[in-house]
Structure 1
Amino acid sequence: MLFDNDKIRIGPTGVKKDLFFMKGRANTLRRGKRFEIPEYLSSMGLNAYEFSAGRMAKFSDSPIYEKFRVNSKKFNVAISIHAPYYISLTSETPETYEKSIERLARTYAWAVWLNAKRIVVHPGTYGKSKMKRNLTQMIIDGINSSITLSKNLYPNIKEKFKEICLCPETMGKLGQIGSADEIIEICNEVGTNKTRPCIDFGHLYTRNIGKIIGKNLYMPVFEKIEQNLGKNIVENLHIHYSKIEYTGKGEKMHHSNDSSWGPNIEPLFKIIKEQGYKPIIINESPELETDATKLMDIWKKMS
């Protein structure tokens, strides 16, 4: 089925420039050498990569993106994109809300240009609203509007948008919309032919102030997704992972995967192996591809 994975895939969200230099690649990642990233990751035994839109607001196709999508296929690296961080589908300011819809719509085009099949997005914050249901509906409406707008903005490639799913992400701060239940509800309302969850287990760990660990952090989430969205969805999830420091308000700071903070990856890998899941796992620690390689090594030893 569309969006299904052939196997578990692991990779980073970005690459560290110093390591990229050591491999004899580009003089800089900003001068037209990003297309070498799939080959670079493949040489490290990795097979996924999340391209961060970060704070970029304008997108256009280019020869560099063409080389990137060719290389992603050649080296069998699954590509996803993280939509701009300043998107807010719960903003009470109409202009901000509409611009968020437009930026998300334009990210669909960038996904096509980069051969990405998944777009990760932060839904928004609670703000001052006491009506959680109204905020959830704003997100649902915003996603549907962005899908419609993307087709109007890019009619020449709109058919390819059917190959892309939007992945609302679970969030780590208590002021952000993004519990597992909220993300499941959003995906259920929009439809699993257009969306599926991005489950960031580091975020869920900090959202629970580190109180839920081990198998008890992971398995209930998988069970909820299967019950509400279906077996096929839980088998092919998009997962973010890193160890994260927290405060009483949730997420504070990402750490390397050697840190004493949680969550630990081994219980997650054990469940994936036992259940036969085939997720894409994106490492978000500061050590990027180095820690992603360590995750891949742990997975190979356990599987």
Structure 2
Amino acid sequence: MAKIFLGTAGVPFSAKKGTTIDGVKAIRDLSLNAMEVEFVQGVRMKRETAQETGRIAKELGVRLSVHAPYFINLCSSEKEKVEASKQRILDTADRAEAMGADAIAIHAAFYGKLKPEECYEMVKAEIGEVIDKARENGIHDVKFGIETMAKDTALGTLDEVIGLSKEVKGVIPYIDWAHTFARQGGKIDYKQIIDTLVKELGLVHINSHFESLKLNKGKYVDVHVPIEANAPPFDQLAETLVKDDRISITLICESPELERDALKMKAVLEKYGYNLR
């Protein structure tokens, strides 16, 4: 049975204050063991704060990951927007490295007027440049996670993120299970996806998000709702993970109910015989 890391996207509601450090402490108080630090509105954390966050997380046994800003589009037709996007990714990686986070989640691009394959090639080149610059700046441990996306207008099919992970050293898939479920028309085969990640990429750890999505006019849209909507069902993922000893996984709850739903996920894992530690 592989190791499972479970926590929230950002500071739990139950934290004494809204700081990241208070969030890490609240995670441990909740008997969870992971937290994704949210830079979605911009990278405003000082490097010293990132280092202190990492020190406390390590002491408490909380695994950290980081979400890069939403304002990223590596396929923008405006060069200055692409360059600003690359800098945001680099700043995110810098703070992530300082706090000892293992990976960052990136919403990489929108196709815009480009064909999907043209956007893919552009992202491949631009993220490659970012990683080269990161290595020059002493950022060696953080993995650059290209997130699977729900919208048909965004780069982020499962095949695209796997392809980028094969072609660009330092890139990994950051699997948003609900986004993939939506992108596949409301269907998901967890075991098949895990098998593919292990077989094609040799992954030993999966970074991922979990939430449910809203059904609108017969189509799942990128509006996060509590997990009892079963879109997709967590129960099946939990059972699959507990039976699979090939990989460890980070499950970050992106439900609007944050720790309430993370604790529900924990209870489902326990039902299948897995206890967080």
Distance change in 2, residues 1:90/1:280 (3 Å): same
2:90 corresponds to: 105
Q: 1:36-185 residue pairs with structure 2 within 5 A?
A: 36-62=22-48, 64-130=49-115, 132-152=116-136, 155=137, 158=138, 161-185=139-163
1:262 corresponds to: 231
The residue identity in structure 1 corresponding to 2:201 is L
Q: CA deviation at 1:283?
A: 0.6
2:248 corresponds to: 278
Contact 1:207 1:251 in 2 (8 A): no
Equivalenced residues, count: 270
Deviates more, 1:199-208 or 1:52-61: 52-61
Matched, 1:251 2:216: no
Q: CA deviation at 1:297?
A: 1.6
2:191 corresponds to: 219
Distance change in 2, residues 1:59/1:142 (3 Å): farther
Distance change in 2, residues 1:281/1:165 (3 Å): same
Q: CA deviation at 1:167?
A: 0.9
* Long gaps (5+) in structure 1: 1-5
Aligned with 1:7 (options 3, 6, 12): 3
Q: CA deviation at 1:163?
A: 1.4
Contact 1:59 1:107 in 2 (8 A): no
1:205 corresponds to: 181
The residue identity in structure 2 corresponding to 1:165 is K
Matched, 1:188 2:166: yes
Distance change in 2, residues 1:246/1:209 (3 Å): farther
Q: Distance in 2 between matches of 1:175 and 1:278?
A: 31
User: How many percent identity over aligned positions?
Assistant: 27
1:3 corresponds to: none
1:296 corresponds to: 266
Distance change in 2, residues 1:171/1:208 (3 Å): same
Q: CA RMSD in A?
A: 1.8
Q: CA deviation at 1:119?
A: 0.7
Distance change in 2, residues 1:99/1:273 (3 Å): same
1:241 corresponds to: 210
Contact 2:111 2:153 in 1 (8 A): yes
TM-score by length of 2: 0.91
TM-score by length of 1: 0.83
Q: Distance in 2 between matches of 1:266 and 1:241?
A: 12
Deviates more, 1:220-229 or 1:116-125: 220-229
Contact 1:15 1:289 in 2 (8 A): no
Q: 1:14-53 residue pairs with structure 2 within 5 A?
A: 14-17=10-13, 19-20=14-15, 25-26=16-17, 29=18, 33-53=19-39
Q: CA deviation at 1:293?
A: 1.4
The residue identity in structure 2 corresponding to 1:55 is Q
Contact 1:206 1:245 in 2 (8 A): no
Q: Distance in 1 between matches of 2:222 and 2:250?
A: 24
* Long gaps (5+) in structure 2: none
